[in-house]
Structure 1
Amino acid sequence: MTWHNSGLKLNSYPLALAIAEEWSAQDEHLQLGQMRLTGLAFTAQDNPLEQSPDTITRKILDYVDGDTVLYFNTESSKLQRYQEEQWTPLIRNVNADLGTNVRPSESILDCNVASKADKEKIERWVRQHNFPALIGLQYATESVKSFVIAYNALRHHIEAEQAVDAATLEQRTQAETWGSVEWSHGLEREELFTRLSAACLFVYFNSNNFTTKTL
């Protein structure tokens, strides 16, 4: 049963199997916070925030202007070098796939990283997804705080682990220079990896035709 006490209906048999596996892995005390696919499915069906495709699309597009990947740090030569090596290919993939001309900037005051035409092309790509897939796309984008990174992971240009590396580049560079609390950063990384992986699976399973299954 979902949060609204209705039977969970899924349009993807593989997703139903994956969610069933999440439940079978639980002991007598359910850890719903660790059941990412279940949470996404409940959210897509119950829609507790009363979102619409329009509101979700706008929230995703909000990340384009302030996308982490589109603003390079010039104060650290090491970080800037890493950004150019790891982020530039991701930007290039978006431009090649969507026909955009998104470009990185070295100033957070620069509001022209994506033109109006670029945003319209990105919006068209976002809107082609059905509502459950939009929920997953929003979750992926918000998890890594970047549409560019989420897009590359969802389009299989990079693995989820590489996406997490890109999303935590600044943190990892600082740790490389100053050291880090290994267990703390390890937990944060695993949490992000889990969230992004679940989001990518959820989008994929809801974007392909499978047998409808009611749990």
Structure 2
Amino acid sequence: MSNLFRALQRPLATFLSASQQVTKRCYAAPLKRFYKQTSVLYNDGKYEVTLDNRKLKTPNGKLFTVKSEPLAIAVATEFDAQKEHIERSKMHLSALCFTAIDNPNRHTKTDMVNYLLNYIATDTVLFQYDDEKDLHDLQRNEWDPIIKWFNERYGTNLEKTMVISPPSISADDKMNVSKYLLSHSEDVLFGFIFAVDTLKSVVLAFAAIDQRISVDKAVSLARLEEEYQLKFWGRVEWAHDLSQQELQARLAAAVLFVHLNRSEHFVKEKSIV
């Protein structure tokens, strides 16, 4: 079953990924770098980023503020790494922060959780292919252990499908995953969605965020069928390598965004006694 065919099986998503939204809305043309230095400020319990003496703002004009000092430093580092022009389409952490702050489509926590729950039935690793033994063996050896881990970790009973029809996801499965997701803030859920959209897989995204597998491994597993087919059809080195590196950069940003938005990664100002 080709990746294109699987994509056609998915319903039209009403929830655009963070980078897609920001890119379409604001990043049509490269912007010349207009600042020399970046820094991070602490103000009223939150962290801000400055470009020279200008406070960073979102595409919608809101003041950029985050609760996590490491996240603010990471965003400032993205801006500091820009050269003559600002390549904002590659600044995934900044894009995620902007989308979480602006929330341009006004999505609620429930909207985001439902999006992720509905995605499970189209998860890449749950669609396997038994018409070609070598590919099936590869999928079974590489994907099945992650599916098993996911079921044990989140109390689900997800089962793969060997046919065109999507797997059946029980109400109990959705409830267990929903409880886990709802325990997070809205900001964190934007990171989950960015990771899932990057990998086309809830199972792999959760495994990467939980640090069960590395970012590189998660991308490799998401591209498993494509890499298998390339052995027969040939590989355009620069194109396929660039695609893989882009996925790794996007996923790394999503994983970092989730972890730095969790409360244990906030750095709070110490009170003076």
TM-score above 0.5, yes or no: yes
Residue 137 (structure 1) aligned with residue 137 (structure 2):
no
2:32 paired residue number:
none
Find 1:154's aligned residue among 205, 209, 222: 209
Matched residue pairs, number? 212
Alpha-carbon distance in structure 1 between the residues aligned to 2:67 and 2:208: 22
2:95 paired residue number:
39
Structure 1 or 2, whichever has the larger Rg, is 2
Deviation at 1:178, TM superposition (A): 2.4
Find 1:10's aligned residue among 60, 66, 79: 66
Counterpart residue identity of residue 195, structure 1: R
TM-score with structure 1 setting the length: 0.95
1:61 paired residue number:
117
1:176 paired residue number:
231
1:163 paired residue number:
218
Deviation at 1:74, TM superposition (A): 1.1
Contact 1:133-1:202 at 8 Å conserved across structures: yes
1:202-213 → structure 2 map (5 Å cutoff):
202-209=257-264, 210-211=266-267
2:241 paired residue number:
186
Contact 1:63-1:147 at 8 Å conserved across structures: yes
1:107-126 → structure 2 map (5 Å cutoff):
107-112=163-168, 114-126=169-181
1:24 paired residue number:
80
Alpha-carbon distance in structure 1 between the residues aligned to 2:197 and 2:253: 13
Indicate the structure with greater strand content.
2
Contact 2:159-2:167 at 8 Å conserved across structures: no
TM-score with structure 2 setting the length: 0.75
1:67-82 → structure 2 map (5 Å cutoff):
67-82=123-138
* Structure 2: runs of 5 or more not aligned: 1-56
Alpha-carbon distance in structure 2 between the residues aligned to 1:82 and 1:15: 37
Deviation at 1:2, TM superposition (A): 0.8
Task: Show CA shifts across 1:67-94 (max 9, x none).
Answer: 1101111122111111111101110111
Indicate the structure with greater helix content.
1
Counterpart residue identity of residue 118, structure 1: D
- Farther-moved stretch of structure 1 (36-45 vs 92-101): 92-101
Contact 2:160-2:167 at 8 Å conserved across structures: no
Alpha-carbon distance in structure 2 between the residues aligned to 1:177 and 1:80: 16
2:157 paired residue number:
101
